[in-house]
Structure 1
Amino acid sequence: MSQSKGLARIFQPPKSAMQSGRAKSQGWVLVYAPAEPKAVDPLTGWVGSGDTRAQVRLTFPTRAQAIAFAEAQGIPYEAEPETAPAAIRPKVYADNFRYGRHENWSH
């Protein structure tokens, strides 16, 4: 992503590693690229910047709605292509004891 001022990125958030399902990863997100680099405050040592757009995170149900919003507001954007979610294979406890299984025992 280039560092031009005002550029926004439209993407689908990935599934969290702390969840087994796809909750909160079905929509589309519009975030702004940083307009200025972060700097260390000499007094406190905290990292921050004066870029308030870094705090903006807009969510949309579809990619088309996110793009339409960016175009209506005159925001230059980069949109990632839509990808089909990977299939989640249901796990069955009985498979741990199945005859002829190829995986090693975990205990």
Structure 2
Amino acid sequence: MFARIFKPSKTAMQSGRANTERWVLEVEAETARRVDPLMGWTSGDSVTSGQLQLKFNSQEEAVAYAEKHGLAFRVDEPHLSTPQPKAYSDNFAFHRRKPWTH
């Protein structure tokens, strides 16, 4: 089994940083899913291990868990965004690049 350790980013449906502070260890499926020729259902050999997500308070805890259980893993570093301060009055500034129209 192969595991991926990452810090999830915020979803598009939220403006806050909820559920982004913990590290996640996600186990990837060993084999690809396949389509059953009779019923057309999608199935795989290790369905439950592909759905497994463990949450940890720090990256070190997740790495220690993966090493303890003999999992091959990859650590994806989080992408930190830099907020750009904006003000409503900037919409009407003289030095605006595009003209303001309705």
TM-score by length of 2: 0.77
Percent identity between the two aligned chains: 41
Gaps of at least 5 residues in structure 2 are: none
Helix, strand or coil at the partner of 1:15: coil
From 61, 67, 77, the equivalent of 2:63 is: 67
User: What is the letter of the counterpart of residue 36 of structure 1?
Assistant: T
Q: Which residue of 1 aligns with 2:10?
A: 15
User: What is the letter of the counterpart of residue 9 of structure 1?
Assistant: R
Q: Which residue of 2 aligns with 1:78?
A: 74
Going by fraction, where is strand more abundant, 1 or 2? 2
Gaps of at least 5 residues in structure 1 are: 1-5
Superposition CA RMSD, Å: 2.3
Q: Which residue of 1 aligns with 2:49?
A: 53
1:40 corresponds to 2:35: yes
- What is the CA-CA distance between 1:48 and the residue it aligns to? 2.4
Distance 1:67 1:22 in 2: 23
Cα 1:84–1:55 shift into 2, 3 Å: closer
Distance 1:9 1:46 in 2: 27
TM-score by length of 1: 0.74
- What is the CA-CA distance between 1:27 and the residue it aligns to? 2.1
Helix, strand or coil at the partner of 1:58: strand
Aligned residues: 101
User: What is the letter of the counterpart of residue 89 of structure 1?
Assistant: Q
